[in-house]
Chain A
Amino acid sequence: GAVVSQHPSRVICKSGTSVKIECRSLDFQATTMFWYRQFPKKSLMLMATSNEGSKATYEQGVEKDKFLINHASLTLSTLTVTSAHPEDSSFYICSAGAGGETQYFGPGTRLLVL
């Protein structure tokens, strides 16, 4: 149980394009999903909290117009990196809570912006 999927697992795009990443909880309903970014050899940095049916809340320093989050249903949240630039290249991970503080992570999406 508590499986979270992410799609795509890897994406390469040109600078200026937008990229959408999907995060799905496969066997449970998640009212809250979290989006993280991880740089090489660094820990997870929380970007935003995605709540079903309401606007996402962003952490300080994260541009909400740059990283658009939509939590369309209890099993799906999407992160769109708009007008991507090379500095947006990173490993993006989502997680979903099944109630309480335990979070289950998706397998991550590696984004490379050329």
Chain B
Amino acid sequence: EDKVVQSPLSLVVHEGDTVTLNCSYEVTNFRSLLWYKQEKKAPTFLFMLTSSGIEKKSGRLSSILDKKELFSILNITATQTGDSAIYLCAAPRDYNTDKLIFGTGTRLQVFP
């Protein structure tokens, strides 16, 4: 059965720390991996990764995919309290569908 697994489940850091969130996947017909940030409401899109080794960057957030080892990481540098959220990764189930399989998420709490 296809699945997406995230670790750690929960992370508590102080402002200014750097964090790394992990996402491993087992998807038979892998196409891409997506990262979302969920605060109190619905998830907001962060990144979509399709190629190994190419880092995507947006401000203090960056992400990279390793298709050989079947995982992705999301890095956040110089964390701020506004980074506190649940970070979700997801992958489409198959080539011919946009249905996503979501991981359980990593809950990040950043304290001042």
Residues of A within 8 A of B (CB): 6, 32, 34, 41-44, 46, 49, 93, 95, 97, 100-108
CA of A104 to CA of B104, assembled, Å = 18
B41 with A107: CB separation less than 8 A:
yes
Q: Given A32-B98, A102-B48, decide whether A43 and B42 contact each other with a Cβ distance below 8 A.
A: no
Q: Determine which residue in A34, A41, A106 has the highest number of CB atoms from chain B within 10 A of its CB, and name it.
A: A41
| Cα-based distance from A108 to B39 in the complex (angstroms) | 12
Please determine whether A105 and B98 come into contact, CB atoms closer than 8 angstroms. Answer: no
A105 in contact with B102 (CB, 8 Å): no
A–B complex contacts, Cβ < 8 Å, 20 sampled: A6-B42, A32-B98, A34-B98, A34-B99, A34-B100, A43-B103, A44-B43, A44-B88, A93-B43, A97-B98, A101-B31, A101-B34, A102-B34, A102-B48, A103-B45, A103-B100, A104-B45, A105-B36, A105-B45, A106-B42
User: For the complex, would chain A's binding face be called helix, strand, loop or mixed by DSSP majority?
Assistant: strand
B48 touches A46 (CB 8 A): no
A105 touching B42 by the CB < 8 A rule? yes
Bound-complex Cα distance A105 to B86 (A): 15
A108 touches B99 (CB 8 A): no
Check if B45 sits within 8 Å of A43, measured CB to CB. no
